[in-house]
Amino acid sequence: MTESSTAGARLLGSIGVTGIVFLVIAAAAPLTAVGGALPLMIGLGNGAGAPTAYLVAAGVLLLFSVGYAAMSSHLDEAGAFYAYVRRGLGPRAGLGAAGLALLAYTAIQAGIYGLAASTVEELVVHYGGPDLPWYFYAFALMAVVAVLGYRNIELGAKVLGVLLVVEIAIIVALSAAVLSRGGAHGIDTVSFTPSAFFDGSPGVALMFAIASFIGFEATAIYGEEARDPRRTIPRATYLAVGTIGVLYAVASWAVVLAFGSDGVAAAAGADPEGLTFTAARLFLGESAADLMAILLVTSLFAALLAFHNAISRYGYALARDGIGHPALGHIHLRHGSPHKAALAQTLSAALLLGTFALAGADPVLQLFTWMSGLATVAMLLLMLLTSVAVIVFFRRTGVDRRAWHTVIAPVLGTGGLVLITALVIDNFTTLVGGSAVVAIVLLATVAATFALGVTLARTAPNPAQPHTI
């Protein structure tokens, strides 16, 4: 034990449903999804049918969440998916799952650093500032994230809460303006018809849609720091997934209507980077479009902080179970945070970003595109493992006999995840920018990470069972 930390204790905090929901939605980065991913989803995917893709993705994740939330009543620790898989499928699959989780969150965080840095660089130059390299802004953002991540989770939740309210406000304002003014050619519901959903490449649309939900696992990651986790975790899970799904569906519908159901695909193809901002300029005015560009930075920052917290808690949970350096399992005496795991996370992010910077990589076309694709596949496989683990856990233990919660919904959710995973892998080359070589390397990295985790479990000490409530 040192003056600043202790091992073997539990994380401190009394975060409630609202705070956890803020952390989850912040990780989803709504404005980034609506402003950055949605135009690509429309142009490369199913055009006007994009809003339905969000609803389908939300539906599958809600089915998954039924069993996930039910099992959360019997677990209470910071490892989330890792703890669930370990409890349901054993330590080997559990450590493989932990590897996938760390890979997914590390990759998506690195990608967002690239996108955020590029966005800040463009804004600074636009407003007459110096033209500095993107990585200068990436490391500046990292320093702020490191300070907040070192402190108690409730401080981070408050910061994210403020940023998130403003971010969602501009999305709601745009949606309301488009709908109240009747869009470009009047209000229609073409976006929610089966013909629109299956038009073009619905697989690509689903791929972008499911990627927009990455991070909702945070509802259980903060189990130790939650107030009354038995009730907080299930409520936060349903509320977060439902809110994200409805917000994305309505906002994407508004963007479709802003250009017309029959013209939005062409508009997205012609201007994928500026589609949503053009809609804001048309329906809210020039100032609102400029404000949205600035809020995109705060959206990305909120996501960076949320993923930093998630990775830190995974490192802490693994170290506490005897996997990795023991120091990562220490808790700050005053803040009650996994501060050493947070410092390690910052170091790993710095090394990864430094590698891309030294290689002269483009922060968006390479760093963001490759890492977000890698994270999407890893997270889908992780959710599949978790879904199967939930089914096995309840079947083996019999602690919950409700058929809908322990069998029907988890099985349906698993089926939906299998279908979406197959579609993502089939369209993976498109997701990572069109390079087959890059696609193969990234998919092989996912497989190798899981295999490495399973292999390490054979030699790792037998960890204690996840904490039960």
**pLDDT score, position 89:** 94
**pLDDT score, position 4:** 53
CA distances from 62 to 45, 65, 85, 236, 267 (A): 23, 5, 19, 12, 32
Residue pair 245/50 in contact by the 8 Å Cβ criterion: no
Under 8 Å CB-to-CB from 413, ≥6 apart: which residues? 60, 61, 63, 64, 65, 66, 67, 387
Q: What is the pLDDT of residues 197-234, one digit of tens each?
A: 999 888 889 888 988 888 776 666 666 666 666 677 77
DSSP state of 224: G
Query: What would the two tokens of residue 183 be?
Result: 């869009």
**pLDDT score, position 50:** 96
Instruction: For the chain, 469 residues long, give each residue's pLDDT as a single digit of tens.
Output: 444 555 555 555 566 777 777 777 877 788 989 988 899 899 988 999 999 999 999 999 999 999 988 888 787 555 578 889 999 999 999 999 999 989 998 999 999 999 999 999 999 998 999 999 999 999 999 999 988 877 655 565 677 677 778 888 999 999 999 999 999 999 999 999 999 999 988 888 988 898 888 877 666 666 666 666 667 777 888 888 999 999 999 999 999 999 999 999 999 988 888 899 999 999 999 999 999 989 999 888 888 888 888 888 888 878 877 777 777 767 756 656 677 888 889 999 999 999 999 999 999 889 988 998 899 999 999 999 999 999 999 999 999 889 999 999 999 999 999 999 998 898 888 878 778 999 999 999 999 999 999 998 877 655 444 443 3
Rounded to two decimals, the pTM is: 0.86
| Distance between CA atoms of residues 460 and 455, nearest Å | 9
Residue 468 CA, chain-centre distance (Å), reads: 26
**pLDDT score, position 349:** 93
Under 8 Å CB-to-CB from 320, ≥6 apart: which residues? 8, 329
Residue 335 CA, chain-centre distance (Å), reads: 25
Q: What is the dihedral of CA 163, 164, 169, 171, to 10 degrees?
A: 120
Q: What are phi and psi of 265, to 5 degrees?
A: -65, -45
| Distance between CA atoms of residues 78 and 185, nearest Å | 49
**pLDDT score, position 333:** 62
3-state secondary structure of 119: helix
| Distance between CA atoms of residues 285 and 274, nearest Å | 14
**pLDDT score, position 68:** 87
Q: Work out the widest C-alpha separation in the chain, in whole angstroms.
A: 67
